[in-house]
């Protein structure tokens, strides 16, 4: 079978297994937290536990962190992960769930999940003034869509 025959020409829903695989492969996405007028969007490195949760670490600079404050008061949040290789080959997964802070003595799951996270230079060169805080995003619902790539 030729490569052209393996590629689809229209968008299609991703299976749960493909969504899990995609989240495991990726390590960066966009966290959307509810705010008064419109969602507050934050690019985030993340780790995926392979089942039902994403994990983040927030570097806390200054006396207040908007993402920390919004995360603490949010009853729900969204997270978007996408990859666009070309106009004809892309994938995206949209997650809805709940975000919660993790106490430092309960970071074992976070550390394990963050093994696949993308870590920008900021993590190696930054010195947060208030430290680092861990968060878990419990996935309640997901949808994935893709175009192109191998046929499922």
Structure confidence by residue, pLDDT tens digits, 28-67: 999 999 998 899 999 999 999 999 999 998 877 667 778 8
- The answer to whether the beta carbons of residues 135 and 71 sit under 8 Å apart is yes
Closest to 55 in 3D by CA, of 106, 19, 21, 16: 106
Q: What is the structure's pLDDT at 90?
A: 94
CB burial class (10 A; 0-12, 13-18, 19+) of residue 94? middle
Average pLDDT, the chain: 84
- 3-class SS of residue 12: strand
What pLDDT is stored for residue 82 in this prediction?
96
Query: Where residue 2 falls among pLDDT bands split at 50, 70, 90?
Result: very low
Over the stretch 114-130, which tens digit does the pLDDT of each residue have?
Answer: 777 766 655 445 555 66
Collect all residues with Cβ–Cβ distance below 8 Å to 14 and sequence separation of at least 6. 22, 91, 93, 144, 145, 146, 152
- Least confident window among 6-20, 46-60, 94-108: 6-20
> Is the predicted pLDDT of residue 98 greater than 60, yes or no?
yes
**Stretch 21-27: mean pLDDT:** 93
């Amino acid at each position: 079978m030729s490569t052209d025959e393996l590629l689809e020409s229209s968008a299609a829903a991703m299976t749960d297994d493909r969504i899990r695989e995609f989240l495991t492969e990726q390590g960066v996405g966009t966290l959307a937290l509810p705010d008064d007028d419109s969602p507050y969007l934050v690019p985030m490195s993340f780790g995926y536990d392979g089942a039902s949760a994403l994990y983040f670490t927030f570097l806390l600079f200054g006396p207040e962190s908007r993402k920390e404050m919004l995360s603490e008061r949010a009853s729900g949040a969204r997270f978007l992960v996408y990859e666009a290789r070309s106009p004809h080959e892309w994938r995206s997964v949209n997650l809805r769930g709940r975000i919660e802070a993790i106490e430092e003595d309960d970071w074992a799951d976070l550390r394990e999940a963050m093994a696949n996270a993308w870590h920008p230079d900021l993590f190696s060169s930054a010195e947060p003034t208030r430290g680092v805080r861990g968060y878990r995003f419990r996935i309640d619902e997901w949808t994935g869509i893709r175009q192109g790539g191998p046929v499922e």
